[in-house]
Amino acid sequence: MLTTEYDGCGRCLVGVRRLSRKTDATSSPQRQADQVLRATADAGGHIVAWADDWEVSGATDPLTRPRFGPWLRGEMGPYDGIAAATVDRVGRNVRDTLNTQALLTDQGRVIVTADHVGVWDFSDPNQENEWLVKAWGSQMELRAIQKRNRDEALRARAAGQPRQRPSYGYMYVRLAPTAKVDHVAIDPVAAEIIREVARRILSDETEKITCATEAARLTREGIPCPSDRRAQLYGRPTKNRPWRAKAVKYILCSEAALGYLMHDLRPVIGSDGRPVRIADPLWDRATHDALVEKTAPKRSGSRAPKSTQLLAGIAFCGNCGARLYVTGRYGCTARVRGIPASAHCRPAPFMPITDLDALVGKWFLSLYGAGEVMRKVYDPGTGHAAQVAELTATRTRLREDRQAGLYDDPDEAEWYRAEYRRIGEEIAALKALPERKPGMRMVPTGRTIAQEWDAGDSVKRREMLAEFEVRVVLHPTGHDPRVVITGMELSLDGLELTG
pLDDT digits (tens, 9 = 90+) for 289-321: 889 989 988 765 566 666 778 888 889 999 999
Q: What's the pLDDT score for residue 370?
A: 87
Q: What's the pLDDT score for residue 302?
A: 60
Shared domain check, 289 and 207: yes
Residue 449 lies in a domain: yes
Looking at per-residue pLDDT, the higher value among 61 and 467 belongs to 61
What phi-psi label fits residue 488: left (phi over 0), alpha (psi between -120 and 50 degrees) or beta?
Answer: left
- Each residue of 428-447: pLDDT tens digit? 998 888 877 777 777 888 88
Asked whether residue 26 carries a pLDDT value surpassing 60, the answer given is no
DSSP state of 269: B
498 — phi, psi (to 5°)? -125, 155
Query: In which band, very low, low, confident or very high, does the pLDDT at 478 lie, cut at 50, 70 and 90?
Result: confident
86 — phi, psi (to 5°)? -145, 170
Shared domain check, 247 and 262: yes
Asked whether residue 263 carries a pLDDT value surpassing 90, the answer given is no
Residue 161 lies in a domain: no
DSSP state of 183: E
Query: In which band, very low, low, confident or very high, does the pLDDT at 100 lie, cut at 50, 70 and 90?
Result: very high
Shared domain check, 76 and 199: no
- In this prediction, residues 63-81 reach a mean pLDDT of 93
Shared domain check, 135 and 20: yes
Residue 459: closest CA among 265, 348, 309, 346 = 309
Residues 387, 288 contacting (CB under 8 angstroms): no
Shared domain check, 289 and 228: yes
Shared domain check, 209 and 253: yes
Asked whether residue 23 carries a pLDDT value surpassing 60, the answer given is no
- In this prediction, residues 167-186 reach a mean pLDDT of 86
Shared domain check, 285 and 327: no
Q: What's the pLDDT score for residue 416?
A: 84
Q: What's the pLDDT score for residue 497?
A: 32
Shared domain check, 201 and 248: yes
Query: In which band, very low, low, confident or very high, does the pLDDT at 25 lie, cut at 50, 70 and 90?
Result: low
Query: In which band, very low, low, confident or very high, does the pLDDT at 490 lie, cut at 50, 70 and 90?
Result: very low
**Pick from 294, 329, 361: which residue ends a domain?**
294
Q: What is the DSSP string of 331-368?
A: E--TTTTT-GGGTT--SPPEEEHHHHHHHHHHHHHHHH
Residues 159, 152 contacting (CB under 8 angstroms): no
**Pick from 397, 412, 437: which residue ends a domain?**
437
User: What does the alpha-carbon distance between residue 289 and residue 389 come to, in Å, rounded to a whole number?
Assistant: 9
Q: What's the pLDDT score for residue 380?
A: 67
Percent of the chain with pLDDT over 90: 42
Asked whether residue 105 carries a pLDDT value surpassing 90, the answer given is yes
Distances (CA, A) of 362 to 296, 391, 458, 470, 486: 37, 52, 14, 13, 13
Looking at per-residue pLDDT, the higher value among 278 and 24 belongs to 278
Residue 63 lies in a domain: yes
Q: What's the pLDDT score for residue 22?
A: 56
Residue 2 lies in a domain: no
- Each residue of 227-238: pLDDT tens digit? 999 989 888 888
Shared domain check, 132 and 20: yes
Shared domain check, 449 and 399: no
C-alpha torsion 64→66→67→70, nearest 10 = 50
Q: How many domains does the chain have?
A: 4
Residue 310 lies in a domain: no
Q: What is the DSSP string of 219-250?
A: HHTTPPPHHHHHHHHTTPPP--PPP-HHHHHH
- Each residue of 362-385: pLDDT tens digit? 999 998 888 888 877 777 667 777
**253: CATH:** 3.90.1750
**Pick from 294, 324, 357: which residue ends a domain?**
294
Residue 307 lies in a domain: no
Distances (CA, A) of 114 to 40, 117, 120, 235, 304: 8, 7, 11, 33, 57
Residue 150 lies in a domain: no
Asked whether residue 24 carries a pLDDT value surpassing 60, the answer given is no
DSSP state of 325: E
- Each residue of 315-358: pLDDT tens digit? 999 999 999 988 788 999 999 888 888 998 989 999 999 999 99
Residue 480 lies in a domain: yes
Query: In which band, very low, low, confident or very high, does the pLDDT at 45 lie, cut at 50, 70 and 90?
Result: very high
For residue 402, what are the domain limits?
381-437
Shared domain check, 360 and 242: no
- In this prediction, residues 146-160 reach a mean pLDDT of 78
Whole-model pTM: value is 0.62
Shared domain check, 110 and 72: yes
